[in-house]
Homo-oligomer: A and B are copies of this chain.
């Protein structure tokens, strides 16, 4: 399915570069490579999964229009994929999602329905919309086409690592519901089996790390209130968790302040814009590499959809 997703993605999904800097290597005391998915269309890897899902649907199904729940990145991915397929998209977003993400989703032609993350039941909202309008739900991670789409990131990593002479590496992936982590783990398991995939999460929102430890799906106590809005999904998915459980090594949790510092390093050294949640893997590489087996690190930077205020906060932090 990942190879099929890659061939449907040809000429549409962007092949993002694998970046590096001697200054980052120096901080970590080893080579760090950064898969810059912030440079993907819509500013995050989510376009891969959305494109895979929409291009993988039967045309008559897709024509009904699509529905998605998202704090912002999946929203934009689905909105653009729907626009390119010329079908309608309705996106249910939490009202505390970053302004830029809400605005962009609308600007990409989608209808945005806002809900209160703490008080309202987004599932009930979604079911009503599905019934009323006959829309097809595109889940953000528990959907095989979406996981396959995110997995195309892993195919690129395998090829790019090979070209750069990287054989073994710790592959660190920002983890929300686990679609990207599971997809990359599947792709590398076949194409670069010497790579070790680990999910990275913010402290306090480490549901996947704890789930991998306990062997069962765990949930975060806190449901909101992190600057890492893109990846604070309450628990790993029913479909993604078994994949991660069988293919991933233990994950690492990082502090919000480390994410902000990482954003500043990425600005100064890689010239890319990283959003807080997307910085957790590179933050792990920069500040927690002592907890990892030695050797090269490949850190996925999963998105760059950040407001100017938050970015300026990252530039102001002392590093």
Interface readout for A175-201 with B: 1 if CB under 8 Å, 0 if not? Answer: 000000000000000000000000000
Cβ-closest chain B residue relative to A42: B21
Give the complex CA separation of A274 and B311 in angstroms.
15
> Is there contact, CB below 8 Å, between A267 and B271?
no
With a cutoff of 8 Å between Cβ atoms, the chain B residues found around residue A268 in the complex are: 100, 308
Task: Decide if A304 touches B271 in the complex (CB within 8 Å).
Answer: yes
Contact B264 A308 (CB under 8 A): yes
A119 adjacent to chain B (CB < 8 Å):
no
Contact with A39, one of B15, B267, B270 (Cβ below 8 angstroms): B270
- Give the Cβ gap from A300 to chain B, nearest Cβ, in Å: 14
In the complex, which residues of chain B have a beta carbon less than 8 angstroms from the beta carbon of A80? 22
**Contact B108–A271 (Cβ < 8 Å):** no
Decide if the interface of chain A is mainly helix, strand, loop or mixed.
helix
A98 to chain B, nearest CB (A): 12
Chain B residues with Cβ under 8 A from A137's Cβ?
Answer: none
| A11 / chain B contacts, CB cutoff of 8 Å | 163-164
Contacts of A235-284 to chain B: CB distance below 8 A? 264, 267-268, 270-274
Instruction: Name the B residues within 8 Å of A271 (CB-CB).
Output: 38-39, 43, 272-274, 304-305
Interface status of A210 (Cβ within 8 A of chain B): no
**Is A220 in the interface zone, CB < 8 Å from B?**
no
Task: List the B residue with the shortest CB-CB distance to A264.
Answer: B308
3 closest residue pairs by CB, A with B: A271-B304, A271-B273, A308-B315
* Interchain residue pairs with CB less than 8 A apart (10): A17-B39, A22-B108, A36-B39, A39-B270, A39-B271, A100-B268, A267-B308, A268-B308, A308-B316, A311-B315
